[in-house]
Each structure stands twice: as C-alpha cells, then as structure tokens.
Amino acid sequence: MTGVPHGAAPDGRRIEHRIRIEPDGRVLALSGKIEYGQGIRTAMAQLVADELDVPFDHVQVVLGETRLVPWDIGTFGSMSLAVEGRILQLAAAHARRLLVERASRRLDVEPAQLATADGVVRCRRDGRTVRYVDLVAGDPLTGTIPEDATCKAPEARRWIGRAMARVEAHALVTGTARFVADVRLPGMLRGQALRPPLPGARLRELDDRAARLVRGVVTVVRDGDFVAVVAEREQQAAAGIQALDADWDAPRDPEPAGIDVVMLEAGDLAAGFACAAHVLEASYTVPHIANAPIGPSAAVADVQPDRAVVYCGTQRPFALRSEIAAAIGLGELEVDIRPQVTSGTYGRNSCGDAALEAARLSKAVGRPVLVQWSRAEEFALSPHRPEVAIEARAGIDRDGRIVAWRYHELTNPHTAVAMFDPNAARATSGRNAIPLYRLPAARVELHVQPGQVRTGAFRSLAAAPNIFAIESMIDELAAAGGIDPLELRLRHLDDPRMRRLLEAVAERAGWSTRPRGHAGRGYGIACAVYHGTYVAEIADVEVRDDGNIVLRRMFCALDPGLVVNPDGARNQVEGSVQQAASWVLRERLQYRNGRVTTSAWEDYPIATFRDAPDLIDIQFITDGGAPMTGLGEPGCVPMAAAIANAVFSGTGQRLRTLPLSITKSR
C-alpha cells in the first residue's frame, strides 16, 4: 500500500484544500474518499452546511479527484465519516470563524455582535450584512485547520441528525447518473483483453492475423503476457478475441509465502482448561465468496504523450494513480484520476484492474479506450474473499465462567497486495480475532498464506468470519453450561456501551419470550465492536421442513457515536444485513485447480427480492459524547453467528460451515 503522499498533493490539514467558497455561492468540500452507495457525499454535505451555516444544497462535495483533493489512503474500514467527515466538519467550523473575523473587520463590530446564516454574516445590532462570497473575493480562506476548532452544540444543529434524501437520488432514478461505463469521449474505442487459461500463465506464441481482419478491429495490442483487441464496437472486440490463436506456458509456481502471528497471549491456558467443567472444540469454515458487484469492472482512459485522464470506479484513487503512472511511464502528477459514479463493489474496487487495462490500451492506440469486463470475467478474475478455517477450543467452569480460550485462524491475505507483515496481518486478516470478553487465559493465533484463488479486500475483511467463529463458540459454551446466551455474554462484558446494546436489542426482539424447543423457529444473538462502532443483533429464523433456512426478522442495535443522517445510516445497516444474509445462506465460489469455475449468476445465486426479511429493525443508541464512527460494515459482521445461533435454537443443529445448510432430519 502506498504510504506517503508526494509531489504537489494538496495538504489535507489546510483549509484552502478542504473548503472553497466559489463566486457563485457554491461551497466546495474536498475529500479523497469515494462515494459508492454509502451516502457519505450527503452526510459530508450535512456536516459542512451545519458548521459553515450555508444552505445544504449550496454544498458540493468533491470526492477522490486526484488533481483537486488532498491525498487519501483509500475508502475502506467504515472510516469515511469517522476521519474525513470529522476533518470537513472542523474545516467548516474554522472557516465560519475566519469569515466572522473578516466580517468583524469589514463592518467594524465585535465578532460577538455577528451572527451567521445561509452564507451571510449579519450584525445583530444594526442588521447590516455581508455575504461570505464578498468576504473571500480575491482572498480565499487559508491556513491550518485547528484540531480543536469549535463545532456547534447539538441543539444549534440544523442539518446534522436530520434524515436527508441522497443527493444523487434524482439522477439515479431518472437514469442520468453517469456511471463509469457511461463515459463517452470523442473517438473512444472499446478494448477487451485475452484471458489466459490460468492466472499467471505466460504467453508463448500469438497469431493475431485473423483477429486483425475482423470488421471494426483497430488493432491487437501485445505487451508482455497482456494481449487485447481494440475495436470500434464492443462485440467487434469480442469477435477479435475469439479470432486470436494463443499458446500459453504454465504459470511459474509462486514463491512460498506466509506469516504466523500471535495476536493475543494471556494467562495460564493449561491451568484454565484444567479447571473447566466443559471443554469444547470446534472448527468453523468460511468459503471463498465473490464481491459480485451488479456492475462489472469498467474504466475509460485517455492517455496522451504528456498526460492521462482515467475515469473509473476506485476505492484508492491515489494508489491507482501511482500504479497507472508506473504502468504507462508518466509522472504521477501527469495522471488525473476522475472517479465516476460506480456500482457498489464492497472492497473489489481497491484493485484497479480495468483502469490499468484501459490505460495500457489507450497509450497503445493514442485514443480513449473503454474497457468493460463481462460478468464471467468479473467472477473469474476479480480478487475474492479469502477462505477461513478456524479451530477453537474453549472451557467453561461450573459457575459459568469462561476460563480458557484457544483460537487459531488460518486464512489468505485480505488485501490485494499480500502484506506478510505482522502488523498489517493483524489489522486485516486478524481483524476482530480477539474476543471482546473477559478471558483469564487465552491464546489467539493467525496464519496467513496465499491460496489457489486470488484474494483481496471484502467488506469488513476478516471481521465477519472471525465473529462467526467467536460468537458461535460463545453460544456453544452457553449451551454446554446451561446458561442463557445473552446472560453468558453480559457476565463477561464490562463495557457499558455493549451491555446497553445487548439489553436493548433483546428487549426489542422479545428475547425473554423467544420460541424454544427446537420447533423450527429460533432466535440467535451475536455482537461485535467494529472500528469503534458497537453492534448487537438478533436473528429470527425459520427452518422449514425441507431444510430451507429463512431469515424472517432481524433486530439490530448500533452505537456509532454521532449519527449524521439517520435515514442514510439506517439504509447502510439494512443493506449490510441483507447482503450478509446472502453470504451466509447462499454463497460459495466454485474453483478447481487454481481456476474459478463460477462464471454467471446461475452458478452463484445471491439473495433476491423473494428472500428479503419481513423486517429489519434498527435502533441507534448513542449518548452523543462518543466520536463519530462508521456504518458501512458493522451491521454485516455479526450476521453469520446470529443466524447460525438461531438455527441451533430452532433445530438443535449446530452449523459451523458457511453457507449454512441444514441436514434434513426427515
């Protein structure tokens, strides 16, 4: 991962690179984060409109455009509002203070006599006004944003905390939103790459004579093992690919790689197990699954000898800029990354595959090139969620105390560029591997090694698999000890925020009067803290006679600190629940001998309208004092365990392999 900004990247700590008041009254708010359905553009506009005292619709949030915004590491980990939303909030608050100071000098009154509203500073005493636009004309706001800039008190807020429609909504429902593959440039061609029989195969020989004769084919590009056809129309490029004759050599065996990390070592494990009344051992397995965006990867590149413009969907615009600059031999500042409206990809867009292909092809032909991956390419070539195998051994004593915990996670790299570095591994493949609970003796180990399938970033990284194993094991311990699963959790938790959420979600779901007795209907509970956001969930599941597992209702309680847009926040949690229910109940990528064999939706059924739960109930429980944290991922993290625990409650069958599948008893 690229670590340090360089070149003339705007400094994100300076106000002139965060907030710009334009002559027409628009306020530009600048961030390197990316919008792909999380609603951050809307929430950021709410934060800025409130702190700056401008109308909401005057704020235009500019995201990820590398020539305009400060350097950013990338959009992942549910950090956009927690980090960048906070910076924009502070920048706007500071900007308002600077504007009041300028108005004070211009009107010759004390700042205390001045009030701000709708982009205007007004003198309370005599009613004189001056517009922000006039205060910055020819003299934009500059300087460092103080980390302790004073933000508004909650009661003075006008936009923060208000349910707002997404700013992109009108363009999306009328079809005018311009997604990546909708970019049309004069002279634009279509590019399609030839795919090797196995990832990493080396091209031995290529006969492209027939392909060059296909109508509409402009050229065949060969650059090392990368071969592509560029044509006027998409199906002509596809016909060109069909006409290529290529021989391949087998890929070189990869260098052996891997890393062992001890994540946690505490207490005396042997002594702990010795005093346990019940010792349980269990293996939990999680298959490869596909990010499976509805819009497959696409990009448009326009590469000229001295500059390149790339229209793409990316979660890491600055890292992509470096990669493209290196691939086509330009300087980083000569490459202009312009993120477009993009299909949600849930981590997949951390890799700019299509953008790199488009850039190489545009450089080769000297014209703009659109690359649109097919559905089959998206399944076969994208990085996928790693497989995870977890061995857990835990003991509980006669008094219902968990006395020993041993946990070993085996998985593949959770980042596109494998990082065999202990700290990186802990933060990615080891995410949420350490339980929340008070444990007198514990050992948590992680082993990361590449598998047969290309792996990369997937929503919540290893948090969802780890919480599946941990929260299932807690449920198994509760059953062994004859203790209510909610009660066992509360006994081992000191953190008042999590205790409060568990109690609230149990209350809402009717936990104390839940169905019991393995009659096919069951409730399951699970919880997690994900990057500062607390989440507790209860699944209400029905197991039908044919073994079909149906998620009927989902109860969720979350504490993300400040909630900026309550309806947008709710939407994020609902989507997390729905998507994770699909992973848990349906999804498994198929592969054989290092080749992904899943190629179409027929091979990879995801949840549809028919599978949507009857209810997704969401409560946000915050005391307002905690810092703002994210909501893009937390809701999906406890889902697998909540559903598996509900299946156990409803049937007595303990399922430890995803996707969950019941053995028919009749």
- Of the candidate spans 62-70, 197-205, 369-377, 429-437, the one that interacts with another protein by CB under 8 A turns out to be 369-377
Distance of CA 458 to the CA centre of its chain: 7
Told to check if 184 binds another protein by CB under 8 A, we report yes
Half-sphere exposure of 521 (CA within 13 A, CB side): 8
Does 613 contact another protein by CB under 8 A?
Answer: yes
| C-alpha span between 40 and 631 (Å, rounded) | 10
Q: How far apart are CA 621 and CA 624, in angstroms?
A: 9
**Residue 131, strand partner residues:** 120
Q: Cβ contacts of residue 538 below 8 Å, gap of 6+?
A: 505, 506, 509, 511, 523, 524, 525, 554, 555, 642
Q: Does 8 bind another protein (CB under 8 A)?
A: no
**Residue 408 burial (C-beta neighbours within 10 Å; 0-12, 13-18, 19+):** middle
Considering only 166, 363, 401, 406, the residue that binds another protein (CB under 8 A) is: 166
Report if residue 202 touches another protein, rule: CB under 8 A.
no
The radius of gyration computed from the CA coordinates of the chain, to the nearest angstrom, equals: 27
Min dist. Cβ of residue 248 to another protein (A):
25
Give the distance between the most distant pair of CA atoms in the chain.
86
For another protein, which residue of 10, 32, 39, 485 counts as binding (CB under 8 A)?
39
Residue 513 vs 608, nearer CB to another protein: 608
Single-letter amino acid, residue 544:
R
CB of 661 to another protein, least distance (A): 21
Instruction: Tell me how far apart the terminal alpha carbons of the chain are, to the nearest angstrom.
Output: 52
Q: Closer CB to another protein, residue 157 or residue 190? A: 190
Stretch that binds another protein, among 394-402, 473-481, 599-607, 650-658 (CB under 8 A): 599-607
Task: Please list, residue by residue across 303-327, b when 16 or more beta carbons sit within 10 angstroms of its beta carbon and e when fewer do.
Answer: beeeebbbbbbbbbbbbbbebbbeb
Nearer to another protein, 87 or 616 (CB): 616
Alpha-carbon distance of 607 to 494, in angstroms, equals 37
Shortest distance (Å) from residue 362 CB to another protein: 18
Of the candidates 567, 621, 626, 657, which one interacts with another protein according to CB under 8 A?
Answer: 567
Considering only residues 3, 112, 127, 174, which one is a binding residue for another protein as defined by CB under 8 A? 174
Tokens 């007004």 appear where? 122
Choose one: 20-28, 120-128, 176-184, 383-391; the region binding another protein (CB under 8 A). Answer: 176-184
CB of 348 to another protein, least distance (A): 10
User: At its nearest, how many Å lie between another protein and the CB of residue 300?
Assistant: 12
**Residues in a beta bridge with 235:** none
Phi, psi of 325 (to 5 degrees): -55, -45
Closest CA to 309 of 390, 389, 370, 240: 370
In the set 608, 624, 625, 666, which binds another protein (CB under 8 A)?
Answer: 608
Least gap, CB of 586 to another protein (angstroms): 12
Residue span binding another protein (CB under 8 A) among the ranges 80-88, 323-331, 341-349, 544-552: 341-349
Q: β-strand 278-286 against 591-592: which pairing, if any?
A: unpaired
Q: Give the number of residues in contact with another protein, rule: CB under 8 A.
A: 63
582 near another protein, rule: CB under 8 A:
yes
Q: What are phi and psi of 628, to 5 degrees?
A: -65, 125
177 touches another protein by CB under 8 A: yes
Site string for another protein, 234-273 (x = CB under 8 A): xxx-------------------------------------
Q: In this structure, are strands 549-559 and 615-620 parallel, antiparallel, or unpaired? A: parallel
Between 511 and 583, name the residue whose CB sits nearer to another protein: 583
Contact window for another protein (CB under 8 A) among 4-12, 172-180, 415-423, 482-490: 172-180
Cα–Cα distance measured from residue 637 to residue 460, given in angstroms and rounded to the nearest whole number: 7
- 428 — phi, psi (to 5°)? -115, -75
Give least dist CB 607 to another protein, A.
7
What are the phi and psi torsion angles at 130 (to 5°)? Answer: -145, 135
178 binding another protein? (CB under 8 A)? yes
Residues 6+ apart with CB under 8 A from 443: 262, 264, 265, 266, 269, 405, 406, 407
Q: Which of 60, 129, 285, 374 binds another protein (CB under 8 A)?
A: 374
Neighbours of 612 (CB within 10 A): 14
Rounded distance, CA 588 to CA 594, Å?
15
Kindly state whether residue 382 participates in binding another protein, applying the rule CB under 8 A: no
- 634 contacts another protein (rule: CB under 8 A): no
* Closer residue to another protein, CB minimum distance, 391 or 567: 567
CB of 216 to another protein, least distance (A): 7
CA distance linking residue 358 with residue 364, whole number of Å? 10
- Cα 44 to Cα 64: distance, rounded to the nearest angstrom: 14
37 binds another protein (CB under 8 A): yes
Residue 346 binding another protein, by CB under 8 A: yes
Taking the least distance from each CB to another protein, the nearer of 33 and 406 is 33
In the bound state with another protein, the residue whose beta carbon lies nearer, of 284 and 346, is 346
Binding mask 431-470 for another protein (x = CB under 8 A): ----------------------------------------
Nearer Cβ to another protein, position 246 or 569? 569
CA distances from 619 to 38, 81, 247, 634 (A): 18, 19, 58, 13
Single residue of 395, 485, 575, 630 touching another protein by CB under 8 A: 575
550 touches another protein by CB under 8 A: no
**Which of the ranges 25-33, 120-128, 165-173, 357-365 carries the binding residues for another protein, by CB under 8 A?**
165-173
Q: Interface with another protein includes 300 (CB under 8 A)?
A: no
Q: Candidates 426-434, 463-471, 499-507, 598-606: pick the segment binding another protein (CB under 8 A).
A: 598-606
For 307, the token pair is 């500059």
Q: Which residues bind another protein (CB under 8 A)?
A: 36-39, 165-166, 168-170, 172-179, 181-182, 184, 215-216, 233-236, 292-296, 341-344, 346, 372, 374-375, 567-568, 571-572, 574-579, 582, 600-602, 606-613, 615-616
